[in-house]
Amino acid sequence: MAGETAAVEATARFRAAVQAGDLTAFAQTLAPDVVLRSPVSRKARFEGRDEVSALVAVVFDVITEIEYFEDVGSERTRALFYRARVGSEVIEEATLLRLDANMKVTEITLFIRPLPGLTALTAALGPRLARRGGRARAALATALTAPLAALTRAGDAVAVRLIQPASADRGVSLD
């Protein structure tokens, strides 16, 4: 139980730093060799406290109104859940954290829903992160991500009505 109490305290510090957008406090919760796994691609990983902190600095500019509503798990593995906004899109994120013996975060794996929120996040973050490699990379990232975000936002407005059971009809006619 003492180990789980320490883990809960560690994730409380992590949550407080994220909700406050406090990059210094956030970095203090991380192990030096932390790995962050992207919700967008299994190929995208950020390794080490410096890389993860640089990513999160950009994330803090894009994701707003973060409110955690659940923290569950054991003394070494925790799952945190929050709701937030990316522009006008609402997102929910599940964050899988792994902790070391010092209660520092060694692994962060992110899961984001719904799809319009994830694509809005991708479209907002991609160009900002790519800009570090130059304006051409940022422009290409915008060209690749902006249409996807627009399509999923538009598709969500129509597709949900197409798949809802007739009993859930909201009075909107597609005829």
pLDDT of residue 1: 56
**DSSP states of 109-170:** EEEEESHHHHHHHHHHHHHHHHGGG-HHHHHHHHHHHHHHHHHHHHHHHHHHHHHS-GGG--
What average pLDDT does the segment 3-31 reach?
96
Question: What is the rounded end-to-end Cα distance, in angstroms, of the chain?
Answer: 59
Q: Mind listing the pLDDT tens digit for each residue in 80-127?
A: 999 999 999 999 999 999 999 999 999 999 999 999 999 999 999 999
Of 98, 121, 119, which is closest to residue 108 (Cα–Cα)?
98
Q: Mind listing the pLDDT tens digit for each residue in 139-148?
A: 999 999 999 9
pLDDT at residue 173 above 50? no
What average pLDDT does the segment 45-49 reach?
96
169 φ, ψ (degrees, to nearest 5): -55, 125
pLDDT of residue 171: 54
Q: Which residue has the tokens 């990983």?
A: 45
